[in-house]
């Protein structure tokens, strides 16, 4: 789960696995897989970073630097 903030200042937890699309209109709009849309204060970049951190935390995304590190220069 990631913590995001509605435009009115209320924070809530969102299941990052349900996010299908993120857009800026200029407000950040998150579209979920069920077509529900949420408008949040965080930027697209912040949401992507929160999602990436969450995926790493639960083991969905491996740390690419270690996986691709062959020790060559």
- Label residue 73 by pLDDT band (50, 70, 90): very low
Q: Under the phi-then-psi rule, with left for phi > 0, alpha for psi from -120 to 50, and beta for the rest, what region is 14?
A: beta
Q: 40-57: per-residue pLDDT in tens? A: 999 999 999 999 999 999
How many whole angstroms separate alpha carbon 48 and alpha carbon 70? 27
Task: Tally the C-alpha atoms within 13 A of residue 4's C-alpha that lie toward its C-beta.
Answer: 27
Q: Does the pLDDT value for residue 25 go beyond 70?
A: yes
At residue 58, the 3 state secondary structure works out as coil
How many whole angstroms separate alpha carbon 66 and alpha carbon 47? 24
């Amino acid at each position: 789960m990631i913590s995001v903030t509605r435009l009115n200042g209320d924070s809530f937890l969102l299941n990052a696995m349900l996010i299908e699309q993120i857009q800026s209109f200029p407000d950040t709009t998150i579209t979920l897989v069920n077509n529900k849309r949420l408008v949040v204060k965080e930027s697209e970049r912040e949401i992507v970073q929160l999602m990436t951190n969450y995926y790493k935390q639960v083991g969905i995304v491996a740390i690419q630097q270690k996986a691709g590190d062959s020790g060559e220069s």
